[in-house]
Each structure stands twice: as C-alpha cells, then as structure tokens.
Structure 1
Amino acid sequence: MDLFNRTGKMALGSRLRLLTAKVTDDASKIYELYNVENFSPKWFPVFFVLHEESNQTITEIAEQIGHSQPSVTKIIKEMLKAGLVEDNLKSSDKRRNIVGLTAKGKQLAERMVTVQCADIDLAIDGIIEEATHNLWEALAEWEHLFEQKSLLSRVKEQKKARESKNVKIVDYEPKYQSAFKALNEEWISTYFVMEDADYKALDNPEEYILNKGGKILVALYNDEPLGVCALIKMDDPDYDFELAKMAVSPRAQGKNLGWLLGQAIISKAKEAGASKIYLESNTILKPAINLYYKLGFKKVSGRLTPYQRCNIQMELDIKN
C-alpha cells in the first residue's frame, strides 16, 4: 500500500495487523471449506497443544503459546461452550484446573491435523517458493530479536542517541557555580538532608575541589547546564580521586547526560594518571547505582565516610 511507503517503518504494527487481518479472514473461510463450523481461528494454538498433549493446566497452555493466563482462560470458556474442551478434570492436585479435549474435540483435531493442516502447509510452502524472502523464517528471527531487546527499548536507545547529540561536556567555569550548587541541592534535598560536607563543596568549588587538584565537568543540553560531576583529589594511599557531586536535572533525564558525564570524568582521571576512583552513594538512588555499575564501578566496604546518607561505597580500577 502507498500509505506504508509514506509512513515508513513507523507503521510496522499497523502493517502487521493488516496482514494478520487478511490471514485471519481467510482462515475463517478455510475452516468453512473443510466443514469445520463455528471454529474461531484464535482458538487454534490452544486447540493444537491440547491435541498434542491433553489434560493441561491454564498456566501450562499459556506458557506454550505465549499468551497471558486471562487470555487462555477466555478462550477455554469459549471452547467449552462449543463443546470442544472440558475442564475440572481429575487431578492429583485438586487446586489445579485441568483442561482437556472432549470426544468431539479429539475427533475434530484428528481431521484437521491429517487433512486441513497438510493442505495449508503445502499452500504456504508455495508462497515461500514464490516470494523473494521467507516470511516464516523472518518471523522466527524477529521474535528472537524482540526477546533479546524489545522494540520499545530499541526506540529509547535511538531517542537517547539523538538527544545526546545536543549534549556538550565542558570544563567548569565560575559562571556555572550556581548551577553546580542548585542541581546537587535538588537531588540531595529530595531524598536526604544537606550536610556540612555538601555545603563546603557546593559553596566553594574552587577552594574545596579545583585548587586541590580536582576537576568539575558540566553537561550542557542545548547550552543549558543540566548536569554536573566532580573529581575530588583524595589524600589516600588507595585512591587518587573521589567521583562526587554528580547531578542531572529531572528535565534532562533520559538524554544520556549521566553516562556522558561519567565517561568524561573518568577520562579526566586517566589523563591525570589516576589508577583508582572512589565514590559514595545510597542504594535508594537506583538509576545512579545502575549507572556506576555500567561505568565499571564495583562495590567495596569498610571505609569511613563524612556523609550520614552513605550506605554504599564503590571503586573503579582504571588501570585494568
């Protein structure tokens, strides 16, 4: 259809639904062709698995055909009215509702599998031979790919990649001091209480961080400072720097600012000849913790901390 040439791949779902509607419409007529009356095409997956192995639970059927339990329950109720299945069959576990084909259902299944299904298989094989691409194999491949990563996840990645192009990581300048403080105050005050160590770093970043050999980076999104991160020089035999004061505005979430800031600040540490970076956080901040793990940080414990809110400590060995 010309519509799909105009919409492009965005209309994938609509195109698949249209194709499914055409096949389903033909399927109803095919059942009539073989004198199978009042059989809904949507019943076939349930009908088939019960033909292969009768007496199964709703859960077992749902797992095999990839449907939800409520969906299978609805289909079973419809098939009960048609006299094709029976439920509440005898089971060693009385809590399990066992479903099986009736004598009518078994008779119909044998007729469908031996005659109707064979003709349909040959017809579809003919389409595959005529076609340039094997749709049956392609569907299996696409299903596998969607199991690995959903279409939603893939679109989110593309959205993030596009929006990331508008992100610029720059070195701290005095004009960014208010943003450095405001962004950190925002998340700290949302979850915790500002502490003395916070005020020292945020009110006097030059004195507390930069003049001691540390670094501060600012993430600009469309030239607006919406993310910050600092490397604080540590007087410690185990660590060279502490990654601290990372904050991203809620308005910029989903735009990859945290990941880009993290990568950039680690690069700054490498340029300074660092071997290990340390950080402190709180596990309530799940997106931040996930980001640190993604950046390569690993959990450590046993160090003293000036922050009451700290309940997790992590390190990154950048020499490895």
Structure 2
Amino acid sequence: MELFEKTGKMALGSRLRLLTAKVTEDAARIYELYNVEFSPKWFPAFFVLSEEGEKTITEIANEIGHSQPSVSKIIQEMTAAGLVQENKESSDKRRNVVGLTSKGIEISEQIKVQCLDVDVAIDQIISEARHNLWEALAEWEFLLEQKSLFRRVQEQKKLRESKDVQIVPYEEKYQSAFRALNEEWISTYFKMEAADYKALDNPKEYILDKGGKIFVALYNDEPVGVCSLIKMNDPEYDYELAKMAVSPKIQGKSIGWLLGQAVVNAARDLGASSIYLESNTSLKPAINLYQKLGFKKVVGRSTPYERCNIQMELLLNSAGI
C-alpha cells in the first residue's frame, strides 16, 4: 500500500491493524459460508473451553493473553448467543466457572470441519509467499516478550540524545552549576551535610588542587550534570567517585553513564588501581549505574555522611571498562 511506503516502519501498528481487519472480515464471511453463527473475536476463549472444558474467566484470560474485562465481555456475548453458561453446580462456589452448552458443543464440531479447510488455505498462502508469516509472528512475539518495542525505542532515544551530550573538564565558570546541581540532587532525597559544603563551596581547593578531577556534562552547551574524582589519602583506595548529579529536567539521556565512564577513564589514565564510592540503597537507578560501571559492594569502612548505607569499590585492573 502506497501509504506505508511513505510512512515506513513507523506505521507498523497501523499496518498490522489493517491486516487484522482484512483477516477478521474474511473470518466473519467464512463462518457464514459454513452456516455458523459465530463472531471471530470469540474464537480464542471458545477454543479453550472446547478443548479443555470448564474454566474461570481468570484462567481463560491468562491462557489467551487477554484482559479479564475483555474476556468477561466475550463470555457475556457467547452466553447471550447460547454457546456458554455458568456452571452453578461447580463444587467450588468461590469460582465462577463457565463451560460450553450443548449448542456450543455442536458449534465446536462444526468449526472443526471449517478449521481443516482454513488450515489448508493458509498453508497455500504460506507456500506462495516469500516469508512464512506464521513463523515470523511467533519469532516477533518472542522477541517483543524479551524486550518490548517501547523499551527498544526508549533505548534508541537515549542513544541519539546522548550524542548531543559533551563531557568536558571543569572550569571555574562551572562552579555555580557544580554546586547547584549537587545541592538540588542531595536536597531532593536527603539533607545537605558539612562534608558536602566543603567540596561544593571550594571545588578547586578541596578536589582539583589535591590531584582530583571534575567533569561537567553539557547538553546544548548548558551544564546539566557533574561528577568528581577525589584523590584519597587512603592505603586501600586511590580515588573516590563523588558528587555525581544530573538535572532531573534532563535525565534519560545516559548522562550519568557518560560521566561515570569519564571518571573511570580519568582514574585509569592517572594510574589508579581502585576507585571507592558511597551511596544509599534507596537510589536504585544510581546503584544500577555503579554496578554497570563495574562497582561491587564492600563493608566495614567509616563514612562522614549520615545518608550513606552502602559502599562500593571498582578494582581497575580487573574491570572490563
């Protein structure tokens, strides 16, 4: 169809709905051809009842992948048509069990004959086509179950937008942004502490002059994220990853990941063998990011921060980053 040549894959859903409408229209005509008073949309629920016997609406919904309200409506329609009925003699009164009526069983036998002809007709289409749609549908269903179309588009959006992000070294002109971004982030979840003000008010003295690094993420030339690598006076760890903050207005563009990579690469370039960090387990996205960067949990260290309840380390000589 010319429209879909113009729209491309963006109209996948519309094209599938059009194909579904064509097949459903033919299905209704096929039932008429075999003198069966039946609606195509009833078929999945009807098939389950005809093959497996009495079921609850919940069981049917789970088996055919429809919502319970949708199945309830279909059962009501088939009940009105005399094909199914509620089994009031069920031993479990808590379960609303439905099953086929004698008319439903008769229709089921008629449909079995019809299905033989339908199967042959569909096999003919498959033999004439270059691609096996039935097998392709099963493959697509599996792949979308593993990762939805929404998730895939979301990842592409993040990837595209992350290309517009620049990670640059700290300059004095970014001092206010360094403080504001961290203060906004910390105040959102916790409270500012004395140790925070030391680094945020005097980043040059507290971080840079002691051999550390600060990186700034720019999006459309605006500072939207920061992260620092602080030199530690510690026999076990060389540097600490700290003061990472990303503006909530611009999250979802992999900025945290890009800043984290910049800090890890800088530590490696400085000859570091280990990086340490402190965080809080309530910050699940942050913990996931650190784990993605290769950090692992450690215990038994003191901390100046009340909000810290997890400590992590990255051993650079064993990290695959």
User: TM range, normalised to the smaller chain?
Assistant: over 0.9
| 267-276 vs 147-156, greater mean Cα deviation | 267-276
| 122-131 vs 71-80, greater mean Cα deviation | 71-80
1:85-234 equivalences in 2 (<5 Å): 85-113=84-112, 115-234=113-232
d(CA) in 1 for partners of 2:315, 2:85: 63
d(CA) in 1 for partners of 2:76, 2:299: 57
| 292-301 vs 15-24, greater mean Cα deviation | 292-301
> What secondary structure sits across from 1:212 in the alignment?
coil
Residue 298 (structure 1) shift:
2.1
**Which letter does structure 2 place at the counterpart of 1:287?**
P
**Change beyond 3 A, Cα 1:58–1:318:** farther
Give 1:245's aligned residue: 243
d(CA) in 2 for partners of 1:317, 1:91: 63
Count of residues in Structure 1 that have an aligned counterpart in Structure 2: 318
What does the per-residue CA deviation read over 1:21-49, in whole Å, with 9 as the maximum and x for residues that have no partner?
Answer: 11111111111000011x11111000111
Residue 11 (structure 1) shift:
0.7
Give 1:294's aligned residue: 292
Q: Is this contact kept in 2: 1:181–1:202, CA < 8 A? A: yes
What does the per-residue CA deviation read over 1:98-155, in whole Å, with 9 as the maximum and x for residues that have no partner?
Answer: 2211111111112211x10010011111111111111111111111110010000111
**Which letter does structure 1 place at the counterpart of 2:201?**
D
**Change beyond 3 A, Cα 1:192–1:65:** same
Q: Is this contact kept in 2: 1:90–1:98, CA < 8 A? A: no
Give 1:23's aligned residue: 23
d(CA) in 1 for partners of 2:44, 2:115: 13
> What secondary structure sits across from 2:30 in the alignment?
helix
d(CA) in 2 for partners of 1:123, 1:301: 66
Residue 93 (structure 1) shift:
3.2
List alignment gaps of at least 5 residues for structure 2: none
d(CA) in 2 for partners of 1:318, 1:76: 61
Q: TM-score, normalised by structure 1?
A: 0.96
Q: Is this contact kept in 2: 1:46–1:65, CA < 8 A? A: yes
d(CA) in 2 for partners of 1:57, 1:298: 47
Give 2:58's aligned residue: 59
d(CA) in 1 for partners of 2:304, 2:296: 20
Instruction: Confirm whether residue 48 of structure 1 aligns to residue 47 of structure 2.
Output: yes
| 267-276 vs 195-204, greater mean Cα deviation | 267-276
What does the per-residue CA deviation read over 1:30-80, in whole Å, with 9 as the maximum and x for residues that have no partner?
Answer: 11000011x111110001111110012222211211111221112111111
d(CA) in 2 for partners of 1:185, 1:284: 18
Residue 184 (structure 1) shift:
0.4
Q: Is this contact kept in 1: 2:278–2:311, CA < 8 A? A: yes
Residue 92 (structure 1) shift:
4.2
d(CA) in 2 for partners of 1:83, 1:296: 62
Q: TM-score, normalised by structure 2?
A: 0.95
| 26-35 vs 96-105, greater mean Cα deviation | 96-105
**Change beyond 3 A, Cα 1:238–1:89:** farther
> What secondary structure sits across from 2:161 in the alignment?
helix
**Which letter does structure 2 place at the counterpart of 1:75?**
I
> What secondary structure sits across from 1:83 in the alignment?
coil
Q: Which of the numbers 256, 259, 276 marks the counterpart of 1:258?
A: 256
**Change beyond 3 A, Cα 1:271–1:91:** farther
Give 1:69's aligned residue: 68
Give 1:36's aligned residue: 36
What does the per-residue CA deviation read over 1:141-189, in whole Å, with 9 as the maximum and x for residues that have no partner?
Answer: 1111100100001111111111111111111111111111111011111
List alignment gaps of at least 5 residues for structure 1: none
Give 1:273's aligned residue: 271
> What secondary structure sits across from 1:144 in the alignment?
helix
d(CA) in 2 for partners of 1:97, 1:296: 52
d(CA) in 2 for partners of 1:248, 1:108: 62
> What secondary structure sits across from 2:271 in the alignment?
coil
d(CA) in 1 for partners of 2:97, 2:152: 39
Q: Is this contact kept in 1: 2:298–2:312, CA < 8 A? A: yes
d(CA) in 2 for partners of 1:137, 1:161: 31
Residue 89 (structure 1) shift:
4.5
